[in-house]
Structures are given as C-alpha cells and as structure tokens.
Structure 1
Amino acid sequence: MNSPRERLSAALADRYRLERELGAERFIVEIKTTAALQHPHILPLFDSSTPDGFLFYVMPYIEGETIRDKLNRET
C-alpha cells in the first residue's frame, strides 16, 4: 500500500505538486487565516479540499529565499 504522502500526491497529480507537509492543527489555522486575507503583498489561497481523506490547500509558488533566511540575514 502506498504511503499517505504518495496517495495524496496521486490524488492531486492532475492539478498540483506536493511541496511539503505541515502539522494538522497548524494546517487548519493556516487555511482559515490565509482565506481571510486579501492584500496585493500577501499570497492568495487558490484552493483547499479533502480528496481521498487528505486536507490540503494551494498557494502560488514564489521562488526565492525563505522568510527565515531573510530574517536571519537582516535581523
């Protein structure tokens, strides 16, 4: 049997690429918070759902350094 990550990747393969996993409670809070935000400098929430029993959400991918890297560099 495939792992949960492999099953989720397969369920979303026609639309999205899975980048990384987050903890479940944090994940739900991020979905609610992100869905409520609208600003030109904040990435929008494109989609969220529970295919095959897996909760996911989709945001645009922005290439570049992480916020953590930027904060560490600029303090």
Structure 2
Amino acid sequence: RWQQYQPAQKDWVTTDRIVYHITGGRGGGYRSYTFKRFIKSGEWRVRIETESEQLLGTLHFTVKEVPARAYELVTILR
C-alpha cells in the first residue's frame, strides 16, 4: 500500500495498492519490490501487508523535486 502524507489532513492517504505474490524465502527473510512512476514530491511510506491487511513492514522515504540538468552535446569529427 503506497501512501503519501497530506499535511493539510495530518494523515497518510493511500494512492495505490499494488498486489503481488511472495513465495519461498531465504535465510535472511523475504525480498521483493514494487515501483511507481510519476511520483509526487513529499513524504511517502509503503506498507507491506498480507491479503488480510496484517502489517509485515513499513518503508518511509522522502521524494524531492530537483531541477533538470542541462547537458552539452559535443560532436567530435575525425
């Protein structure tokens, strides 16, 4: 469950629920990933839950907008 913090509401708002299946495992636990495109700046968290919404883990992170860098195109003729 992808959630963004909304300061005006002082609450986390769910933006996406990405369903995927995890099977197997390894000595250090399970490993998997999801991703989201066109994400907005702000405070985010991803809650990893079972089908019955039991919380397995949470990941918090901040998305910041950065200015695009201008690249110089150089052509070398030989």
Is the TM value for this pair above 0.5? Answer: no
Q: Which structure shows the bigger proportion of residues in strand conformation? A: 2
Return the index of the structure with the highest Cα Rg: 2
Q: Which structure shows the bigger proportion of residues in helix conformation? A: 1
Class of the TM-score when normalised by the shorter of the 2 chains: under 0.3
TM-score (norm 1): 0.23
